[in-house]
Structure 1
Amino acid sequence: MMQKNYLPTLLLSFLFTCSLLSQEVLTKQEAIKLTLENNLGILIAENNVEIADNNKSVLNSGFLPSITGTAGANYQRDDSTFEFPGQFLSDGEGNPVIDEQTGEPVPRPDADLYKAEAQRYNARITADYVLFDGLGRWYDMKRLKEEYNLSSLQARETLETTILQLFSVYFEAARISENITVLEQTYQNTKNRLQRANYSFEFGQVNKLDVLNAEVDLVNDSINVMNERQLLENTLRDLNIVLNADLEKKFAVDTTITFINELQLEDFAAQGEQNNVRMLQAKSNMTINDYTLQSAKSVFLPTIGLTGFYGWNLNQNAPGPFFPGVNVNNTRNFGLGATLTWNLFDGGRGITQVKNAKILLESQDALQNQIELEVKRDIANARGDFQNRLKVFELQQQNVITATDNYRRSNERYKLGQITSVELRQAQINLLNAQTSRNLAKYNAKLAELQLLQLTGQLMNVSI
């Protein structure tokens, strides 16, 4: 009768185990690949690098000329009346025409101009080029190229941070998965103990207390398994966030862990300062500030510019009272010129900019020295932390061997009636704690190794 009460729990455990076996395993390499392809933070960092790449292009350098084209067209129609007060008709020889009836000179009549059309067209191309600007463009171009390198380093830092975030969640899912296996084994051992206690009670070999203790322990073990499964589901959702995948996507994770050779880690640590991304960024910022200073000094030198243009104009004027024919004026013009501009004194703004650029360069040098000390400290701390965690893992492995042997011996003695169920349960709990502590120590050691690899600039150069 007692076993029927636990049938739903056993069925649930069986179904969950089967579902785990049927799930596709997400390997560490596949997790890295999906993260690099889909993670939104990495996508943003790559876009920033692309922007910096565009900025360092010759199209943004100021070394190319500026060419401007203009064109225009104008249409005009006039209806006009021209009056000639005080003027008289002439006979062509300068003599006025006399009216035969009045004997007076004939006044010159008004002239009407109806639908007088005029068109004007023009086009012009102007090219301007700065031949020399005090080397400002040259150092600005070098600064933009270095800013691109800095953006690449920032993207690398984002990538490394994201990979660390990925494996902190990935290894947490792996740890919980192994803990579920341990808890299910504990549940199975307790179930066997309950069956044995029921048989012994039926034959009068033990009292009811042993059965009740086994029932309580079985319920606790069942709750532990349920809680750990729920924790795994939550952790897998966290992992899907990093992968930018469907939150409810289910998969198993690889629980295999290998550590890098100690001699190889020694080499990485020795070269860590040269490869550390923070140090590389500090050096890049130092170079950028130096180029900024050199560019600011260009204000003290003259600017030489060239300009050229080609233009075309067409004017068509309607006939008028003084020009009876259509007047057409077609003009083409071309010109070249050079300018020299020297800002002898700009009120002190240029001097101030140069002074501030020098101060910023000094500050960046001090910051670089500070970062160098911090990186040395971080590498030393990470190296010591990894070695310590690795030793803890080795000790926990030995502890599991000891706890396993202790539980096996205790189980044999319990069958012989030499110890109580309480003592057996304590040995079982000791084994459970040893196994879960070993799992925790294993993944803590691996994360510490990854942190050391990130600080030495080798995280993306080794197989995780």
Structure 2
Amino acid sequence: MVLKIKALVIGFLLIGLSALGQSKLLFDEALEKLLLQNYDIQVQVLSKQIAENTASKLNNNYLPTLSVDAGGGWTYFGGENRLEDRTIELDPNASYTYDAALSLNYIIFNGFGRKYQLKINEENLALAEAEYRLLIQNSILELGRIYYEVAFLEENVALLESSMEISKDRLLRASYGFEYGRNSRVDVLNAKVDFNQDSIAFLNGKLDFENALRNLNLLMGDSIEAAYQLEKQVQIDSTLDLGTVLEVAQDQNLELAINEHNYLNSKYALANSRAPWMPTLSANAGYNYRGSEDPNGAFLKGSERLGPQAGIRLTWNVFNGQNIVNQQNAKLRLQQAEVRQKQIKQQVKAQAYNAFSLYKNAMAVLQAQEDNVATAERNFVRSKEALNLGQITNAEYRSAQLNYLQAMQNRSKAKYDTKNAELQVYAIMGELK
């Protein structure tokens, strides 16, 4: 009987105890992998580079345009020219035309449209940078959620394994007791059922851990098969206060920053919408060459012309209905941006209150769970001593064991929940970098 029990125990352990992870992966190391390999971040970096190019003066009509144009033509014909007194026969011949030009054009003034378009593009660059920082922030929050979930599940596997070891020891003791007549067969069967339940819980917990670890690898852009052991010790800042959170959030919150850039864009767009009502003054200069050869010409057999040219042009679009509509819409978009700005400020304030309340509640829950673990541990140790002395039943001992396991699991979860709540507060403050 005892040999069968030992074989059962060894079988469960061999199934469950594969390597959970070899190399250590700290949170900062996971963050470094995320920033280097995450696909969304790579795309946003390219978007920021596009915005940098768009905001350059090279792209906003501040420099002149220089162009070269050249062409040529060939014809081949013969025939006759009829005059009043005679007809001139034209032998078949080829004729040629050719030209080349170097042109320089520059817009001197276009109603400040160039100025405000540059400001719009510069704000778009600042917006792209803020959106990049927001993506980094959200990626860190997502990393924290998944990383600490994996850490909890890994810690939970260790707790379930420890509980399984306790049940294994109880099963072996019950089996030995049955062999020597101290325990009944019912005691052995109950112990075996409890061990089986703990073994199944261990295997399910291990499966949850492995699935979550693959999700973490996917987020980091790492190999899906990579195996790690995660950091279990977390440092939690207990010095945060509501006043500081609200003050810093109003100054540094990234959603507020993004909305501010959108608001400024709307202001510049309104100013830019007035540009078509003003005249456009441009200048041009160039050097031209034209030539031709025509053996059948009546008077000219060929010609060449070359030399510089320069000019200035003033264009004024006196009336265009689209300009009126564009300006009206620009005013409406600015009003929308102002309303949106007020809305975002209220939202950020509410988010700051909610995040701080969640953080304080998580801190209190963590402290309560610490107390529960201490109480459950004392109860379990005393229950084990009482069981050995025959003062309590196996069912009472099992209850103490499960209470201790649950308390340890709750404390582990509360620890990581508190860390994620802290990260959320820092995100609202715009300090999660």
TM-score, scaled to structure 2:
0.94
**How much does 1:381 deviate?**
1.0
- Determine the C-alpha separation between the residues in 1 that align with 2:83 and 2:431: 98
Matched with 1:101 is: none
Q: For each residue in 1:272-306, what CA deviation from the matched residue of structure 2 results, as whole angstroms up to 9, or x when unmatched?
A: 21110111111111111110011111223211111
- Determine the C-alpha separation between the residues in 2 that align with 1:168 and 1:15: 29
Q: Which runs of 5+ in 2 are unaligned?
A: none
**How much does 1:111 deviate?**
5.9
* Match status 1:206 vs 2:186: no
Matched with 1:343 is: 317
**How much does 1:266 deviate?**
6.3
- Sort the Cα spacing of 1:131 and 1:8 in 2 relative to 1 into closer, same or farther, 3 A: farther
Aligned length: 433
The answer on whether the counterparts of 2:2 and 2:176 sit within 8 Å (CA) in structure 1 is no
State the SS of the aligned residue for 2:19.
helix
- Sort the Cα spacing of 1:413 and 1:229 in 2 relative to 1 into closer, same or farther, 3 A: same
- Sort the Cα spacing of 1:330 and 1:86 in 2 relative to 1 into closer, same or farther, 3 A: closer
* Match status 1:128 vs 2:116: no
Task: Tell me which amino acid in the other structure corresponds to 1:154.
Answer: E
**How much does 1:55 deviate?**
1.1
- Sort the Cα spacing of 1:350 and 1:114 in 2 relative to 1 into closer, same or farther, 3 A: closer
- Sort the Cα spacing of 1:84 and 1:423 in 2 relative to 1 into closer, same or farther, 3 A: closer
Task: Tell me which amino acid in the other structure corresponds to 1:453.
Answer: Y
Q: For each residue in 1:199-239, what CA deviation from the matched residue of structure 2 results, as whole angstroms up to 9, or x when unmatched?
A: 22222222222111111100000000000001011101111
Matched with 2:375 is: 402
Matched with 2:250 is: 273
- Determine the C-alpha separation between the residues in 1 that align with 2:277 and 2:283: 20
Aligned partner of 1:327 among 301, 308, 311: 301
- Sort the Cα spacing of 1:345 and 1:112 in 2 relative to 1 into closer, same or farther, 3 A: closer
**How much does 1:333 deviate?**
3.1
The answer on whether the counterparts of 1:82 and 1:112 sit within 8 Å (CA) in structure 2 is yes
Select between 110-119 and 144-153 the one with higher mean Cα deviation.
110-119
State the SS of the aligned residue for 1:247.
coil
* Match status 1:48 vs 2:42: no
Task: Tell me which amino acid in the other structure corresponds to 2:358.
Answer: D
- Sort the Cα spacing of 1:207 and 1:38 in 2 relative to 1 into closer, same or farther, 3 A: same
**How much does 1:112 deviate?**
5.1
State the SS of the aligned residue for 1:63.
coil
**How much does 1:115 deviate?**
4.7
- Determine the C-alpha separation between the residues in 1 that align with 2:12 and 2:189: 23
Q: For each residue in 1:336-358, what CA deviation from the matched residue of structure 2 results, as whole angstroms up to 9, or x when unmatched?
A: 111212222223x3233222222
Q: For each residue in 1:235-286, what CA deviation from the matched residue of structure 2 results, as whole angstroms up to 9, or x when unmatched?
A: 0111111012222222221111111241588645531211101111111111
- Sort the Cα spacing of 1:250 and 1:266 in 2 relative to 1 into closer, same or farther, 3 A: farther
- Sort the Cα spacing of 1:408 and 1:136 in 2 relative to 1 into closer, same or farther, 3 A: same
State which structure, 1 or 2, has the greater radius of gyration over its C-alpha atoms.
1
- Sort the Cα spacing of 1:121 and 1:401 in 2 relative to 1 into closer, same or farther, 3 A: same
Task: Tell me which amino acid in the other structure corresponds to 1:255.
Answer: K
- Sort the Cα spacing of 1:6 and 1:158 in 2 relative to 1 into closer, same or farther, 3 A: farther
The answer on whether the counterparts of 2:351 and 2:428 sit within 8 Å (CA) in structure 1 is yes
Matched with 1:27 is: 26
Matched with 1:450 is: 423
TM-score, scaled to structure 1:
0.88
Q: For each residue in 1:349-368, what CA deviation from the matched residue of structure 2 results, as whole angstroms up to 9, or x when unmatched?
A: 32332222222212211111
- Determine the C-alpha separation between the residues in 1 that align with 2:376 and 2:122: 61
Q: Which runs of 5+ in 1 are unaligned?
A: 88-109
State the SS of the aligned residue for 1:123.
strand
Matched with 2:163 is: 186
The answer on whether the counterparts of 1:120 and 1:316 sit within 8 Å (CA) in structure 2 is yes
State the SS of the aligned residue for 1:258.
coil
- Determine the C-alpha separation between the residues in 2 that align with 1:132 and 1:451: 50
The answer on whether the counterparts of 2:246 and 2:349 sit within 8 Å (CA) in structure 1 is no
* Match status 1:260 vs 2:232: no
**How much does 1:127 deviate?**
2.6
Task: Tell me which amino acid in the other structure corresponds to 2:313.
Answer: T
Aligned partner of 2:199 among 203, 222, 226: 222
Between the aligned residues of both structures, percent identity stands at 31
- CA RMSD, 1 decimal: 2.2
